[in-house]
Amino acid sequence: MAFRLEIVTPEGRAFSDEVNDVVLPGGLGEMDVLPSHSNLVSTLVPGELRYKAKDGSTHELAIGSGFAEIQGDHVNVLTDLAISDAQIDEQAVEAALSRAQERLKDSENLGAENVAAMEAAIANSLAQLKLKRKRRTL
């Protein structure tokens, strides 16, 4: 039994395929969704999404905050960011992270708009880095 997983971001459809199983970073903790799940809407926190493709292989994606809508044999994930782990360049992420934190340190000199930008950048970079790191230890 398989169901359709779709991940949409404001910049387009990031993923759309039949999968057997998906683990979502839900607002109440990780959540495993199998076929024939009841209708549900759950919040998502920035973290990793794992899914098992039809051929049995497991894949991972870093996603931002958003929500998942489960309805019938469709799982729709709405998030502002979705990057598969092949797309993540660890060094670039780390550089971005340290740059952002550096600038946030003297946040007193920055305007409120810059601080907001930095905080968002850090949250995103952290989610990406976590996924990449985890992948390596496996």
Residues near other proteins (CB under 8 A): 6, 8-13, 26-28, 38-44, 65-67, 69, 71, 76, 78, 80-81, 111-113, 116-117, 120, 124
Nearer to other proteins, 12 or 56 (CB): 12
State the minimum distance, in angstroms, from the CB of residue 4 to other proteins.
13
Nearer to other proteins, 55 or 113 (CB): 113
Q: CA dist 45 to 57, 105, 107, 125, Å?
A: 24, 25, 25, 14
Chain-centre distance for alpha carbon 15: 12
Residue 108, Ramachandran bin (φ over 0: left; ψ between -120 and 50: alpha; else beta): alpha
Nearer to other proteins, 58 or 89 (CB): 89
State the minimum distance, in angstroms, from the CB of residue 24 to other proteins.
11
Given a contact cutoff of 8 angstroms between Cβ atoms, the answer to whether 70 and 37 are in contact is yes
Q: What's the DSSP call for residue 118?
A: H
Number of helices followed by number of strands (H, E) in the chain: 2, 9
Nearer to other proteins, 9 or 60 (CB): 9
State the minimum distance, in angstroms, from the CB of residue 75 to other proteins.
11
